[in-house]
Amino acid sequence: MIEVNNVTFRYSGEAEEGIAPALEEVTLRIDEGETIALIGHNGSGKSTLARLLAAIVLPQRGSVIVDGLRTDAGGESLWQIRQSVGLVFQNPDDQLVTNTVIDEIAFGPENLGLPRFEIEERVEEMLDLLDLRPYARHAVSDLSQGQKQRLAVAGVLAMRPRYLILDEPTTMIPGHTAEQLLETVRRLARERGISVLHITHHMYELADFDRVIVMNRGRVLLDGTPASVLRHREELERAGLGLPLITQLGQRLRARGWSQLPEVILTLDDLKAALCSLK
């Protein structure tokens, strides 16, 4: 479990109290195996929260505790936390450090000091899992953006983290590739009990997650199931977030007399099923 307890974080440090903190009094808990979408307008604090969870930055107030270890404890705790929490950056070019696909996947496990056979086993597994086998010996620089993004995920997953944080992994790749990547990640979460925190700008992606956290101006605005969060249309709009198109369509139909439809429709399949049940 990851616990974020009343965390406040300023990039400028405590000295400049006049500058609004990037995160303010944030409290939340991430349980094992949960899939969570973290959404919010630009600058709302999503990436900062990701960096705090991965112990890349430390809170000035409050605490972040990963499986009982405080991120500000340093030493052995920090080493263990970095193994438990894998962070995939928004831009894969900020993450990929080696020359070839195989070397990149092996890089993390090598740093963990794993034996050669175990490293090779993990590389083989990731090549299949992320559909990278055809490019195994390719130079990283020759890959497309979508292939690089999959490689960045493979490199992090090869370390077998318990918590996987994806910082807007789909912004630089086309829709169908993005959907495939997210489906792979969700399947892994189900099969291996990995918790996933997926940072996104896309409201239509929320339906596929167990839980949605909405950030606004450095605070948690809403936290709940996709349907319960999408009931707060006005609060979402004040935070610069419009409802997904399918949810808007459902609400328009309700307003035009289809009052038996549920208040929140999440997917096209939900809408079809709801309309069929009215016949």
Ligand X SMILES: Nc1ncnc2c1ncn2[C@@H]1O[C@H](COP(=O)(O)OP(=O)(O)OP(=O)(O)O)[C@@H](O)[C@H]1O
Name the residues that contact ligand X, by CB under 6 A. 11, 22, 40, 42-48
Residue 155, token pair as written in the block: 């490199």
User: Which residue's CB is nearer to ligand X, number 61 or number 160?
Assistant: 61
What is the closest distance, in whole angstroms, from the C-beta atom of residue 41 to ligand X in the complex? 7
Q: Which residue has the tokens 């050669």?
A: 116
Q: In what order do the strands lie in the sheet with 61-66?
A: 23-30, 2-9, 61-66, 69-70
User: Which residue's CB is nearer to ligand X, number 11 or number 79?
Assistant: 11
CA 182 to chain centre: 10
What is the closest distance, in whole angstroms, from the C-beta atom of residue 231 to ligand X in the complex? 23
User: Which residue's CB is nearer to ligand X, number 46 or number 82?
Assistant: 46
User: Which residue's CB is nearer to ligand X, number 91 or number 100?
Assistant: 91
What is the closest distance, in whole angstroms, from the C-beta atom of residue 20 to ligand X in the complex? 7
Name 223's bridge partners: 213
User: Which residue's CB is nearer to ligand X, number 86 or number 250?
Assistant: 86
What is the closest distance, in whole angstroms, from the C-beta atom of residue 61 to ligand X in the complex? 16
Alpha carbon distance 181, 41 (integer Å): 23
Q: Which residue has the tokens 């705790």?
A: 77
Alpha carbon distance 151, 102 (integer Å): 9
What's the alpha-carbon Rg for the chain, to the nearest Å? 20
What is the closest distance, in whole angstroms, from the C-beta atom of residue 147 to ligand X in the complex? 23
φ/ψ region of 174 (left if φ > 0, alpha if ψ in -120 to 50, else beta) reads beta
